[in-house]
Amino acid sequence: MKNLIAVTVCLVLSIAIVIVPSFFYPSYEGVVAGTVGDFNQTVEMITSDVHKVYKLYQDQKLIGIIKDKTYMDEHLNTVYDKKYASMFPNTHISIASNMYLVEEMSSNVYTDVDAKIMQYLDDHSLYSIACKSISFSNEDEEYARIFVKSEEIYQEALQKYLSYFIDESTLEAIHEHQTISNLMEYGEMTMGFKINETIQIADAYASVGEIKTTEEEVLRYLSYGDNESLEYYTVEEGDTLASIGIQNYGLTVEQLMRINQDVITDVNQKLTPGTKLCVTYFTSPIDVYVYKQRLQKETLFYKTSVLEDNTVETGKTVVRQIGANGSKNVLYHETWVNGVLNAGQELSSVVTAAGQDEVIAIGKNSDLGIGSGNLAYPVEHPEIICEYGCYTGFESIDFINRYNRWGNVLAVDTGSIKEKGYTDELGNYVIIDHHNGYQSVYGHMYLPCSLEVDTIVRKGDVIGKIGMTGKATGPHLTFSIYKDDEPINACSTLMNCEDLN
Name the more confident of 27 and 470. 470
DSSP 3-state of 450: coil
Q: What is the pLDDT of residues 257-277, one digit of tens each?
A: 999 999 998 888 889 999 999
pLDDT at 231: 96
Name the more confident of 94 and 247. 94
pLDDT at 412: 97
Within 176-273, residue ranges assigned H as helices are 215-224, 241-247, 253-259
pTM for this predicted structure: 0.81
What average pLDDT is seen over the chain? 90
- Band of residue 27 on the pLDDT scale cut at 50, 70, 90: very low
Name the more confident of 357 and 317. 357
Classify residue 340 by its DSSP letter.
Answer: E
pLDDT at 33: 55
- Of residues 92, 136, 108, 91, the one with CA closest to residue 50: 108
Q: Residue 88 corresponds to which amino acid? A: F
pLDDT at 181: 82
Name the more confident of 7 and 378. 378
pLDDT at 304: 86
When pLDDT is averaged across residues 276-290 and rounded to a whole number, the result is 96
**Domains in the chain: ranges and CATH:** 43-125 (no CATH), 130-176+195-227 (no CATH), 235-282 (3.10.350), 287-367 (2.20.230.10), 369-501 (2.70.70.10)
- Band of residue 312 on the pLDDT scale cut at 50, 70, 90: confident
pLDDT at 21: 39
Own/partner contacts of 48-51, CB < 8 Å, gap of 24 or more, are 48/24, 48/107, 49/107, 50/26, 50/105, 50/106, 50/107, 51/105, 51/106, 51/107
- The DSSP line for 366-424 is -------S----SBSSEEEEE-TTSSTT--SEEEEETT-TT-EEE-SSSEEEEEEEEET
Q: What is the pLDDT of residues 337-379, one digit of tens each?
A: 999 999 999 999 999 999 999 998 888 777 778 888 889 999 9
pLDDT at 168: 86
Q: What are the residues whose beta carbons fall under 8 Å from the beta carbon of 139, sequence distance 6 or more?
A: none
Residues forming beta bridges with residue 55, ordered by sequence position: 65, 102
